[in-house]
A and B are shown apart, each in its own frame.
Chain A
Amino acid sequence: MKNLLRYHFKVFLKSNKLLVPFLIYLFYLFTAYGIIPYSIVSSFSESAWVVFFIMTYVGFSYTEVENPVTEQLVLLKVKNDNLYYLSRIVVLLIVGIIMSVIGMLYPVISNIYNSSQLFTRELLLSDIMFGLALHCMMGFLGAMTGALFHPRIIKNRKIAILMVFFAAVLAVAKGALIEEVPFIGFITWIFPPVYDILVTFTNNEYFSLQTIAIPFLWGLLYGTALMFVQIYVLKKNKF
């Protein structure tokens, strides 16, 4: 696994597909925390769904980084398809965690720099822990959503781009859509539960285990389901 991860990171880093997402996120953080004071829960929630969008893009672009020929060579050398596909998911998880840590470090450092005036109230350790968990969860959901539209799952790449865009937008916008057209709720559950998670924090001043536990587990379950579907279909749709 260690050697596989090293190989994947070498391929990913040399493709230069990671730089732009990180720069976009840094740009977002720089502008989002430019106006003070800010509510902790709402600013962390917003930053988390930005991580979801960016990781959807990272997950999607990563599916196109590994060439199908080298992928076949590596699969033969690993001799374990599950391990190979899992290692690719771990790469995305690591990228998501790094992005989440940046997403938390930036406001924490900025708050210290602004003499604890960045937020409307004092920043607690629990805010940082819950915020980090929320970012990581959104990163995982985004990565799994993007990675699902693999070239071997959706061969037509133009349709894949449209589908991933549609899925990412509806994951956040489904709440507004349900308000307008209530019966659409029967279908929108199929999209990643980004709205469902974020809505539980609306108007909350503090994160709490009671409010975050169920949405967090739901997101984890949904992301894990996407992960298993992806591995199953990739093993079925060979080269």
Chain B
Amino acid sequence: MEEVIISLNMVSKHFGRRVILDHISLNIKRGASIALLGPNGSGKSTLLRMIGGLTTVTSGKIEYASPLTFNYVPEHFPKIDLTAREFIDSMGLIEGLTAEAVAARSRELFHGFCMEDMIDVPIKHLSKGTIQKVAVIQALLQSPDVLLLDEPLSGQDRQSQKAFIKLSQTLNHQGVTVIMSCHEQHLVNQLSHSAYEIIDKALFPVTLAKVPEIAYDVMVFDAAPGINVDLSIIDEIEQWNDFENRFELIVSRENSDAVLKQLLTDGFKLRSMGAKEA
């Protein structure tokens, strides 16, 4: 039987008078891969940070079987002055890696995430997707006991998504516990052994069989500056990757006709479209 490494017992979190999470209990086993689902603002990020000890609990208790090492991919990585290379090198050294190990591992990861040309650009000048790659790379420099992922694919291109999924699966197979909050159901299906949904501040298990297998289409559009997406279809877009004036959209197949029609009406130029690979 796998060892329980983190145990949440009736944990609640309040910000002032606002209750974010209410009496949550969860046992996390070593090597598990857990997905946390729920709408924006439901408390997924707070729960992740509580597990990592980055925020306090208002009531209840979180128990750890032993001192654990955590790495964390935040949802919104800040636009800082350091370059990607400076930041990643510093993180590796602080984590205890040797300079040679940091150089080798970061070279491998920068290559895997297709950002070798951008490593000496200050992070504040990188695009949203590339900044998110930096957030992911710093967490993958070394294998921690627990990997906390907060919307890790947000804004990343398909090649980086594939690299990320592969690396996360490898780490998980090596015994790293992965706890992830995400919207993308294709990611849940590929990475997670179990899933929980936060509904009305409480945590409910979701059987993965019930997380529907959804087919997705990928569409690539060009847009002239100043053209905005109609707000009525925003909710239908699973993922939006911005490459200056070119956009890559991942849309569930049942919504792709409506999204395509609206974007063409709004003046976007379709460049390619196809089924998303699993």
Report A's interface with B, CB cutoff 8 A: 3-4, 6-7, 10-11, 14-15, 67, 69-70, 72-79, 236-239
A73 to B74, CA, bound (A): 8
Segment with Cβ contacts to A, from B18-26, B49-57, B205-213, B247-255: B49-57
* Chain B residues within 8 Å of chain A by Cβ, number: 27
Q: Which residues of B contact A10 (CB under 8 A)?
A: 82, 86, 90
B181 located at the interface, meaning its Cβ lies under 8 Å from any Cβ of chain A in the complex? no
A69/B55 in contact, CB under 8 A: no
> Quick check: B94 and A74 within 8 Å, CB to CB?
yes
Would you call A14 and B54 a contact (CB within 8 A)? no
Pairs across A and B, CB under 8 Å, 13 listed? A3-B93, A6-B93, A11-B82, A70-B78, A72-B72, A72-B74, A73-B72, A74-B91, A77-B91, A77-B94, A78-B94, A236-B56, A238-B54
Residue among B49, B53, B80, B91 making CB contact with A11, cutoff 8 Å: B80
Q: Tell me which of A3, A6, A237 has the highest count of chain B C-beta atoms within 10 A of its own C-beta.
A: A3
* Number of residue pairs spanning A and B whose beta carbons lie under 8 angstroms apart: 62
Residue positions of B touching A, CB distance < 8 A: 49, 52-56, 67, 69-72, 74, 76-78, 80-82, 86-87, 90-91, 93-95, 138-139
User: Which 5 residue pairs are nearest across A and B when measured between Cβ atoms?
Assistant: A14-B81, A3-B93, A7-B90, A67-B78, A77-B95
**Interface secondary structure of A, over-half rule:** helix
Q: CB-CB < 8 A to B55: which residues of A?
A: 238-239
B203: min CB distance to chain A, Å = 21
Let me know if B138 and A73 touch, CB within 8 A.
yes
Check A76/B71 contact, CB under 8 A, given A4-B94, A238-B56. yes
Q: Which of B77, B90, B93, B95 has the most CB of A within 10 A?
A: B90
- Complex: A74 Cα to B93 Cα, angstroms: 11
How far is it, in angstroms, between the C-alpha of A10 and the C-alpha of B88 when the chains are bound? 13
A79 proximity list for chain B (CB < 8 A): 67, 69
Kindly provide the distance from the CB of A132 to the nearest chain B CB, expressed in whole angstroms.
32
User: Does the CB pair A76–B72 fall under 8 Å?
Assistant: yes
CA distance A77 to B73 in the complex (A): 12
Q: Which of B52, B76, B81, B90 contacts A3 (CB 8 A)?
A: B90
Contacts of B74 in A (CB 8 A): 69, 72-73
